[in-house]
Structure 1
Amino acid sequence: MVETNAGYRRSTGTPRGEARRRELLERVTDDLAVNGLVDFSLRRAARAAGTTHKVLLYHFDGAEDLLRQAVFKLRERRIENAMAAVAEGAPKSSLADRVRLVWPMLVGEEAGLARVLDQAMGLAMYDPERHRDLGRHASEQYLPILVGLCPPEWSERRKRGVAEMVLATLRGFLLERLISGDEEGVAAGFEALLRALEREEAAGTAA
């Protein structure tokens, strides 16, 4: 599905070159959000960016590198939306309240964005040797945000453990919602997660 075509790239080494690279990446990312990962290629990306595949190879290390960076940008958009909801909703609220604010952003986000990120995780599971970075980088992006939602007085180990639990659970809920369509069951499970977080936070306060 994804072409590998390294060899053309040269470092631009200038602010202008970096600005051009960011511009191209934004255009390719917009195309990915609309059209998904299926049949992604350098030539398709070049059409979306209004350039040639050789120009893309000047700025990126092939199609897989471009795909990784575009998926990264899409996750950044998801994270920005979620954190904006937390900031506007209740910045000094409990951990459970913050997670509650994030959830509607995940289930109600643009269909294209959710579809592409689901496809990226599926690709990482289907061909981990080639695409493991699509999954590994997801955790690297999400976990610091979830750690930041935890009470500041918690130890780093405890924050990390709770963040890992929240990330894995939300991923499971999103997958279950996609596969089964059981929104009622997922909603019940999400409320159970919030109660678990409330107990975790209460235990920390008591300690």
Structure 2
Amino acid sequence: MSLNGAVLLSPDNSPALIQGEKSFLVQAGVRMEFDSANPYPGRQGYSFTAVGTLHLTNIRVIYVPRILQETMKNINIPLENLRDGKLYQPWFDANRYEANVIPVPNGGLSQPGRIKWAFKEGGGFEFSSIFMQLRSRITGESLPQEEPLPLYDPSNAPPPANAGSSSSTPTPALPFPLPPAFSESGLDTLVAAPDAAPVDDEPRPDAPPGYQ
């Protein structure tokens, strides 16, 4: 890593590419935090914070802040000098890529540091994927592989919830007994409705005289 190691072109401050260099990604709205503070007394550390544009080529990563500062107009990092990088994808914040940075000789930095790029306008996943492939071509290191999922073993499967029980659901007991089944013999025990006319089996008296 070096400070102000890239040549910027006017008017958009894009970096000038060298022979054989090709741009693979240009992402604006990237917030950068760099810290190389040294805990030992007498050793100078560096800390930078800025928002700008990140350029990824097949040779290096170039970061150009939106507002150029006298002490930092750009950061120039060869791909092999970014190590142990990892992409973080929080739920409620922008994707963030972090890595350790190794300084280059006569680059303005004397000690390693830690860099963080927060992709406020997207592009974090694309940067991580392309960067790992480009760096692998230079260093010869294999790409990180995800651990395969274990194979399914039916013998380790938990028993079903209704295992050991019959397929039919038992009928719950009622809080009161059911009445006896209805039959024709039970008609004699029925009581007539209150508004029904009483049954009179006695013979009617003769009609009064003169009644036609």
Name the one with the larger helix percent.
Answer: 1
Question: TM-score, normalised to structure 1's length?
Answer: 0.28
Larger radius of gyration: 2
Name the one with the larger strand percent.
Answer: 2
